Structure 1
Amino acid sequence: MTNNNKAIVYGIVAVLSWSTVATMFKMALRYYSHYEMLLIASLTALFVFSVAITIQKKWSDLKKIPPKQWGKFALIGLLNPLVYYLVLFKSYSLLPAQIAQPINYSWPIVLLVLLSIFTRTAIPKTKYIGMFFSLAGVTLISLGSGTISGNSLPLPGLLLAFLSAFLWAAYWIVNNLNKEVDFIIALFLSFLFGSIYLLIGTIFVDVDFHSLPGLLSSIYVGTFEMGIPFIFFGLAIRKTGNSALVNQLCYLSPFISLLLIHLILGEQIYTTTYLGLLLIVFGIIFNEYLVKYLTDKQILK
């Protein structure tokens, strides 16, 4: 099997894993608080990364990391998994899965804005078109779904879902500053510190892991949201000669996820959710691929 074929297989594994987790978030939250769920999931992901490091015989690489880098990962672990997933899981506890998931998926648009701020470069005018479509999709999901269901969606949940997109975009920027560290080692260290913070937090937060379904659901989240897909997607990007193709596979994830949310959780998927998600994805694809194509063809100037 060629490296490109391996990359596609790895990418598919990651995408299929991520497609299932929105459903499992809601299932775990039936039994555990968002803090309890994250603690188990983070420890599970840490175990998965430890196994990967053992298989690849990379434990000696930890000794090569200077103290300054350890300090950076202590901060990264504070952002992800601690703050990001606490915010994300809390939004899922307040909102239907079909609402929280697409709003969180708008993070590439937030990333575009943050990169513009940090690099002090103006956003190309043509990319405002894609941003408009994606933000219109978020608005449609946030407002339209509540109107159709007859129940207003809680504002704190909507704000937390959007904040999760902001936090993930910020993590993407920070994490890319540590490219000199092997990606599995980087994941292990960020989740090591995140898990330590969560364990310390149990001094102040009551936790009760009495529920076996909650425990198993949280372990699933740690394995198939944080662990396996992070590793396989990282491998896919490194083995492929066409990173755009691997990235494009990710656009399948939210649509598969909606199907599972309907089939397993029994949520009635609103028309506004489908339309809003299509707008979000179209806006992202427009900015990442169509802008360059249309500019090269001199359709957009």
Structure 2
Amino acid sequence: MNQQTRATLFGLAAVLAWSTVATAFKISLSYLSPAQLLLYACTASLLALLSILAVQRRLGELMPALRLYWRRSLLLGAVNPFAYYLILFQAYALLPAQEAQAINYTWALSMTLLSVPLLGHSLRKLDLAAALVCYIGVLIIGTRGDVLALSFSNMNGMLFALASTLLWASYWIFNTRDTREPVLGLTLNFIMALPLIMLWCALSGELVPVAWQGLAGAAYVGAIEMGYTFVLWLTAMKLTQSTARIANLIFLSPIISLWLIHFFIGEPILASTLIGLALILGGLLLQKWPLKREA
């Protein structure tokens, strides 16, 4: 097996794992509040990341790195996982899983738009066209096809979903200036975020016993969405000879995710979701098209 084949297999494994999380979010939220899901998923993710460092024999690096980078870890941890997942889980609590996951895919476009004020980048005409196509898709999903009436199925849920894309994009923009090793840095973020999440749950009265089904779901979300899959994706990106080829695998995820949502949750997949998602993915491909041609 050559290196590129291994990279593709790691990338596919990550994409398949990520395709399950919308279903896992929705099932878990039937037993837990968004804050409770965040608390237990963050705990599971931290254990997963610590196990990865243990296998790599790097646990001894944690305390020196924490003393050196505690401010950065606190800032980034407050964004991800604390604020990002709290808002994302709230979106999933209010919206059907198919709508929340489709809107969430606009984060890549949000990152392009935010790079203008935060990094001083300039927008191309193609970026603006891609934004228009993507957000028309969001509008179709949010109104369930009733665009002219602007009758949103759940305005608060849609706003939470869009806000989560801005937070996720901001996190990755801030991450471009992060000099920490990725797995170690993510572990430090979760270490600093966990007390914030516990405080939030305590203040909102959510530190109460929960059903084992919710804990099982949170453990899966934490290990898969926030933990091991991150390392699978990093490994794929390190092994590949073509970053674009691996990055394009992510376009498989929403299609697989919709099938899982329908099969396990029983949501009927609406035509408006399919049309909106097609526009979102089309906008993202449009944004990447010149880069593909130059390659």
Q: What TM-score comes out, normalization by structure 2 length?
A: 0.93
Matched, 1:243 2:246: no
Paired position in structure 1 for 2:172: 172
Asked if residue 285 in structure 1 is aligned to residue 249 in structure 2, the reply is no
Kept in 2: contact 1:17–1:224 (CA 8 A): yes
Answering whether residue 21 of structure 2 is matched by residue 5 of structure 1, we say: no
Q: How does 1:125-136 map to 2 (within 5 A)?
A: 125-136=125-136
Partner of 1:198 in structure 2? 197
- Quick check: 253-262 or 113-122, which moved more? 113-122
What CA distance in whole angstroms lies between the structure 1 residues aligned with 2:218 and 2:145?
Answer: 28
Q: Structure 2: which amino acid aligns with 1:249? A: L
Alpha carbons of structure 1 residues 67 and 210: separation in structure 2 relative to 1, 3 Å: closer
- Check conservation: 1:127, 1:291, Cα contact below 8 A: no
- 1:184 counterpart residue number: 183
CA distance in 2, matches of 1:63, 1:240: 32
Match of 1:274 in 2: 274
| Residue type at the aligned position of 1:183 | P
Q: Pairwise mapping of residues 3-152 of structure 1 onto structure 2 (< 5 A)?
A: 3-65=3-65, 67-145=67-145, 152=152
Shift in Å at residue 191 of structure 1? 1.0
Q: Deviation of residue 135 (structure 1)?
A: 1.2
TM-score in terms of structure 1 length: 0.91
Letter in 2 for 1:176: T
Contact 2:99 2:141 in 1 (8 A): yes
Unpaired runs of 5+ in structure 1?
A: none
Q: Distance in 1 between matches of 2:182 and 2:140?
A: 37
Q: Give a deviation string over 1:95-127, Cα, whole Å, max 9, x none.
A: 101111111110111111111122223201122
SS at match of 1:126: helix
Deviation at 1:152, TM superposition (A): 4.8
- 1:155: which partner in 2? 155
State the 1:154 CA deviation: 1.7
Amino acid corresponding to residue 192 of structure 2 in structure 1: F
**What is the match of residue 214 of structure 2?**
214
CA distance change for structure 1 residues 197 and 66 in 2, over 3 Å: closer, same or farther?
A: closer
**Alpha-carbon distance between aligned partners in 1 of 2:31 and 2:63, rounded to the nearest angstrom:** 40
Report which stretch shifted further, 59-68 or 1-10. Answer: 59-68
For residues 226 and 50 of structure 2, the distance between their equivalents in structure 1, rounded to whole angstroms, comes to 13
Unaligned runs of 5+ in 2: none
Counting matched residue pairs gives: 291
Q: Distance in 2 between matches of 1:194 and 1:146?
A: 40
Contact 1:82 1:194 in 2 (8 A): yes
- Partner Cα distance (1:40, 1:13) in 2: 24
Report whether the alignment pairs 1:258 with 2:243.
no
Q: In structure 2, how many angstroms separate the alpha carbons of the residues matched to 1:35 and 1:121?
A: 35
Q: Is the 8 A contact 2:142 2:152 kept in 1?
A: no
Q: Give the deviation of 1:91 after TM superposition.
A: 0.6
1:223-242 equivalences under 5 Å are 223-242=223-242
Task: Give the Cα–Cα distance (whole angstroms) in 2 for the partners of residues 14 and 165 of structure 1.
Answer: 20
Contact 2:32 2:210 in 1 (8 A): no
1:208-263 alpha-carbon deviations (Å, 9 max, x no partner): 23301111111111111111111111111112111111111111111110111111
**CA pair 291-132 structure 1, distance change in 2 beyond 3 A:** farther
Secondary structure of the equivalent of 2:176? helix
- Mean Cα displacement is larger for which, 160-169 or 116-125? 116-125
Write the distance in 1 (CA, Å) between the matches of 2:152 and 2:257: 23
In structure 2, the residue corresponding to 1:269 is in which secondary structure? coil
Aligned-partner residue type, residue 201 of structure 2: T
CA 1:293–1:43: 2 relative to 1, 3 Å: closer
Report if aligned partners of 1:87, 1:160 keep a CA contact under 8 Å in 2. Answer: yes
